[in-house]
């Protein structure tokens, strides 16, 4: 077994501390919102919350990555080339994931008792379906920045930190599975079916990043996936 040097130990500690600095705030906020607080957010919080929290977390993750870890943005998947290709691939992935959701739903419903949409989701859908401006705001900066960009940057950042801690194919796959479980559990308020569904998709998204090292397709995929579901729900509420 290779002995860990004195130079390696501080670096491993730094990677672990950076990963913890990303994980703890996200799960702390999730627990506060859906366990401790225990009340339905207002309409304003649906829009300001993701933008403020998501935007703040994006800044925090980039600060950790560049300043604390002294790493470059390219290692997070930010590339100058292939923009149109990334948009096309991400859009195709988003559509494929939505199809997968419909295909897996009967099995998940058989494994877990179906849970009706939460009060906050119903309130959100009714609000945006009645106001085109709010719908545009939700499908624009809220989804793309406050949700997709934040969550995918979080995923990639934590994967990079833990992959640095546990190099090698077997360990990297183990890290990918652990991070996918964490992401699934972060959506536990949606029920066990959603935890399983999101966890499975997280493994696929993490595998894609592991193979390509590109984050743009992940953000596009996430935004398209969420946006299509909102559009379908709004059309159902409006009756067409």
Q: Is residue 3 part of a domain?
A: no
Q: Is residue 135 part of a domain?
A: yes
pLDDT digits (tens, 9 = 90+) for 111-134: 998 877 777 788 888 889 999 999
- pTM equals 0.92
Q: How many domains does the chain have?
A: 1
Phi, psi (5° rounding) for residue 207?
-65, -40
Q: Is residue 83 part of a domain?
A: yes
pLDDT digits (tens, 9 = 90+) for 56-91: 999 999 999 999 999 999 999 999 899 999 999 999
Q: Report how many helices (DSSP H) and strands (DSSP E) the chain contains, helices first.
A: 10, 0
Q: Is residue 2 part of a domain?
A: no
Are 204 and 116 in contact by the 8 Å Cβ rule? The answer is: no
Q: Is residue 224 part of a domain?
A: yes
Domain that holds residue 82: 8-238
Are 195 and 71 in contact by the 8 Å Cβ rule? The answer is: no
A 10 A CB-CB count for 221 gives: 26
The C-alpha atoms of residue 65 and residue 79 are separated, in whole angstroms, by 16
Question: Which residue in this structure is represented by tokens 């739903």?
Answer: 105
The C-alpha atoms of residue 16 and residue 195 are separated, in whole angstroms, by 25
């Amino acid at each position: 077994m290779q002995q860990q040097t004195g130079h390696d130990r501080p670096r491993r500690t730094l990677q672990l501390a950076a990963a913890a600095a990303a994980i703890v705030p996200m799960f702390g906020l999730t627990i506060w919102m859906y366990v401790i607080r225990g009340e339905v957010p207002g309409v304003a919080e649906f829009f300001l919350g993701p933008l403020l929290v998501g935007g703040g977390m994006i800044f925090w993750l980039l600060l950790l990555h560049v300043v604390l870890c002294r790493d470059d943005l390219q290692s997070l998947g930010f590339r100058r080339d292939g923009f149109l290709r990334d948009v096309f691939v991400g859009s195709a992935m988003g559509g494929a994931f939505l199809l997968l959701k419909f295909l897996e739903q009967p099995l998940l419903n058989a494994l877990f008792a179906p849970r009706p949409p939460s009060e906050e989701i119903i309130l959100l859908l009714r609000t945006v379906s009645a106001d085109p401006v709010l719908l545009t705001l939700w499908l624009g900066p809220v989804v793309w920045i406050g949700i997709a960009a934040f969550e995918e940057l979080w995923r990639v950042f934590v994967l990079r930190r833990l992959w640095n801690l546990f190099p090698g194919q077997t360990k990297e796959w183990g890290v990918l599975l652990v991070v996918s479980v964490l992401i699934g559990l972060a959506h536990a308020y949606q029920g066990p079916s959603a935890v399983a569904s999101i966890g499975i998709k997280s493994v696929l998204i993490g595998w894609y990043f592991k193979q390509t090292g590109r984050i743009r397709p992940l953000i596009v995929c996430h935004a398209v996936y969420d946006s299509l579901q909102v559009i379908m729900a709004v059309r159902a509420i409006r009756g067409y």
